[in-house]
Chains A and B, each alone.
Chain A
């Protein structure tokens, strides 16, 4: 038996009052907007609700994944920050709630729910064994339960360790994380296929799950980065966190910016080159009218801009530039999902008005609120995690 780990000196500080105020305000504004949106234009609101759902899924499921890979990879530089992902991961509890209004309007979003259309279409009736409301519901329940289940196990063990310093809990979490990885891969892929790819039920792409995953990682990581850097600069963590910890965070962000571009480019190039009509129509719809500008802008916002900001070595150690890059990436991921979902709603040009603004406001408000809420009951630092001291001594 290893000895129990002694706690690292840590005094918990109250979060700035402005943070919960901002969260409440965002939720209030967002919620009013969203309710009004559903009243005025239910279909448009449902599509936006889907964008919001997938965005929050990215943060929630992605954060659970980040926790898991920290355990699995045995990383120490990120241990002082892990709680941030543990708090953000709690948004998985919100997912059923956010899915509900979308689910109630399934009929106005998904073409494959229209029985008469499916019957008249040979291809759609061929896949009705998969794309039907009952099986869809079952799958969605499975996705949510798996994410919530693993979130609970991983974070409970982590929290318990704060009181007893038992090293065995780390060992258990490593095993749980290993089991989680294949589950995560499959659930996230099928969530992407069900909620996004099946919007155009004729379209298919085998890389689609990987594509959504690459964005998920970026979103979860950049949201965490913003909070980590902001709170650490204000001294909310413990002593010992150095620029080298920041550097690793920035390098990981940078790597995934490239990974996203790699996956996005691979998908595009192969479809463009082969030029098969059953695949190209999906990109053509995103080249129609005003959508063209959104498509082109993703190249800049999702890839070139964060690439340029993060590429220099000093940038990965600079709190300001890290936050700037993270904000860009977070916005880019929202834009990416908007670009994936909305062309089904508005062909040729995208609708943009107060409805499209209300949903992201609510999303950010909710995520922030969950973070503030979790912060109240737990330590921001896993004080008796065996890897914490190593993480604080971490030097490049």
Chain B
């Protein structure tokens, strides 16, 4: 291995490609007809989505009794899946907002895609609380509005805070994403030969002319939006954690929940982004834009956030013992050694143990291994939400009403359907919009930056 030269800033794009080539490479998937693989992939995810839709239709026809939710475990799969999907979205916001403010140039290659994943993940997540009510047609009442009945939502409930948090999150993420797309729409408009496309791109580019003045305004707006989005990285999952933590249920009520949920969300989000990008860069030949260095950096963030999550597990366990409060102690022993111990140890090994392999540089740079570890991380993070939601509810203060929760096939079908929805949207995205920000990548190619001092 050659030694690293710290006196030079490493370029995040390999090989100094000509700017024109970047245009062509990124836009190519939009200009060409989809190939066979595209339809194969789409039919797989489409079938998953269809399965989910059928299961949902069945649930509404028969009632939510077809789910595994029972008397103590009223939350079950819907909430587990909700928290999981909201978490997946977090990497996108972190990459686009916080890494932007930290001026991390390696984010440019992956930001657009991760932001797209944020939007799709939040859409997928949004399905679950609404179906969980059992009467999704009444969801409109979640929004407070003056009405003749003088009927208001319960502002004391974190479930209502969720409505505000998630919808704000979606709105800001979407605006951020769209603003980032405007210069690229301009490029697309200038290049396309098709008349219909020209009209569409013209409308969405909002009259973008690549002028100096446009860029000035654009950069300021982008900076301000990044500022707006930064607190959202923390607030959304903080409020999701409040759903649990404001209660008095042992295992749910613990003060570390807000930062712990945020770290976990970033953890799982990065794992998902890493997985999808590995496939995308291969299919579309983006290896020199989404470089191995970028993937390695993502793996470092996975390692770091994985340790934060491990820290939270340890702290919960230690303080439960330290508190001397019997129900607290029971809740954690029950997690680790009770009827759900299988889920608990899947969670611990996937989230805390396997990511430790990323301490080794070779593994951080080995595509096949990192892919598997990231898949395991997402398995672990899904199980984390399962463990938190189910174990605490299934055995709470009243032993006479303890019950074992068992998901049904319908629950499983809806979960598969959620993956179907997410990946279907993702696949459609790759063929309809540039998945890498053309203008931003051009700005980080070697030699694009104005230089200060000697060279």
Interface residues of A (CB under 8 A from B): 1-2, 5, 76, 122-124, 126-127, 130, 167-168, 170-171, 178, 181-182, 185-186, 189, 193, 202, 204-210, 240, 251, 258, 262-263, 266-267, 269-271, 273-276, 278, 386-387, 389-390, 392-393, 395-396
- The reply to whether A210 and B3 contact each other, CB–CB distance below 8 Å, is no
Chain B residues positioned under 8 Å from A76 (CB to CB): 9
Check B269 for interface membership: any CB of A closer than 8 A: no
Complex CA–CA separation, A253 to B230 (angstroms): 15
- Chain B interfacial positions (CB closer than 8 Å to A): 3-7, 9, 101, 103, 231, 234, 238, 242, 245-248, 253-259, 304, 307, 311-312, 315-316, 319, 321-325, 359, 452-453
Nearest CB in chain B to that of A392: its residue: B453
A227 to chain B, nearest CB (A): 24
Listed from nearest, the 9 A-B pairs whose CB atoms lie closest are: A386-B6, A123-B324, A206-B256, A207-B255, A266-B258, A273-B246, A204-B323, A393-B453, A207-B256
- The answer to whether B256 and A210 touch across the interface, beta carbons within 8 angstroms, is yes
A395 with B452: CB separation less than 8 A:
yes
- Given A206-B254, A273-B246, A395-B452, are A168 and B3 neighbors across the interface (CB < 8 Å)? yes
CA separation between A387 and B315, bound complex, in Å? 37
| In the bound complex, CA of A206 to CA of B316 (Å) | 6
Within 8 Å by CB of B319, from A206, A210, A262, lies: A206
Nearest opposing residue in chain A for B103, CB measure: A396
Would A271 and B255 count as touching, CB distance under 8 A? yes
Can you name the residue of chain A whose Cβ is closest to the Cβ of B450? A395
A274 touches B324 (CB 8 A): no
Shortest CB distance B224–A (Å)? 11
Q: Give me 6 other A-B pairs in contact (C-beta within 8 A), A208-B255, A262-B234 excluded.
A: A1-B3, A171-B3, A181-B307, A270-B246, A270-B253, A275-B248
Q: Which residues of A contact B101 (CB under 8 A)?
A: 251
- Indicate if the CB atoms of A266 and B255 lie closer than 8 Å: yes
Q: Closest residue of chain B to A131, judged by CB?
A: B322
17 intermolecular pairs with C-beta atoms under 8 Å apart: A1-B3, A2-B6, A2-B7, A123-B324, A127-B322, A167-B6, A181-B307, A189-B315, A204-B323, A205-B319, A206-B256, A210-B259, A251-B101, A274-B245, A276-B253, A386-B6, A393-B452
Closest B-chain residue to A125, C-beta based?
A: B324
A264–B197 Cα distance when bound, in Å, is 52
Task: List B contacts of A208 (CB < 8 A).
Answer: 255
How far does the Cβ of A161 sit from chain B's closest Cβ, in whole Å? 11
- In whole Å, how far is B441's beta carbon from the nearest beta carbon of chain A? 20
Of all chain B residues, which has the CB nearest A272?
Answer: B246
A168 nearest in chain B by CB position:
B3
Q: How many Å lie between the Cα of A267 and that of B319 in the bound state?
A: 14
A206 touches B5 (CB 8 A): no
Please give the distance in Å from A71's CB to the nearest CB on chain B.
Answer: 10
B315 and A171 within 8 A (CB)? no
Q: In the complex, what distance in Å separates the CA atom of A123 from the CA atom of B258?
A: 27
Shortest Cβ gap from B317 to chain A (Å): 10
Inter-chain contacts of A210 with B (CB < 8 A): 256, 259
| C-alpha gap A182/B5 in the complex (Å) | 27
Q: Which residues from A are CB-within-8-Å of B6? A: 2, 167, 170-171, 386-387
B453:A182 contact, CB within 8 angstroms: no
Looking at the complex, which one of B231, B312, B324 makes contact with A127 (CB distance below 8 Å)? B324
Q: Which residues of A contact B5 (CB under 8 A)?
A: 2, 167, 386
Given contacts A2-B3, A387-B7, A389-B453, contact A274 B253 (CB under 8 A): yes
The answer for the CA separation of A278 and B311 in the assembled complex, in Å, is 24
- Please give, as numbers and ranges, the residues of chain A lying within 8 Å of B231 by CB-CB distance: 258
Compute how far the CA of A277 lies from the CA of B441 in the bound complex, rounded to whole angstroms.
56
Shortest C-beta distance, B370 to chain A (Å), equals: 18
Q: Complex Cα distance A387/B245, Å?
A: 44
CB distance from A321 to the nearest CB of B (A): 19
> Contact check: which of A126, A185, A262 meets B311 at CB < 8 Å?
A185
The chain A residue with its CB closest to the CB of B315 is A206
In the bound complex, CA of A348 to CA of B320 (Å): 29
**Assembly CA distance A122 to B326 (angstroms):** 11
Report chain A residues within 8 Å CB of B322. Answer: 127, 130, 193, 204
Q: What CA separation (Å) do A43 and B5 show in the bound complex?
A: 56
* CB atoms of A278 and B323 under 8 A apart: yes
User: Nearest chain A CB to B2's CB is how many angstroms away?
Assistant: 9
Which residues from A are CB-within-8-Å of B324?
Answer: 122-124, 126-127, 202
The distance in angstroms between the C-alpha atoms of A270 and B158, with both chains bound, is 11
Asked whether, in the complex, the Cβ of B246 is within 8 Å of the Cβ of A274, the reply is: yes
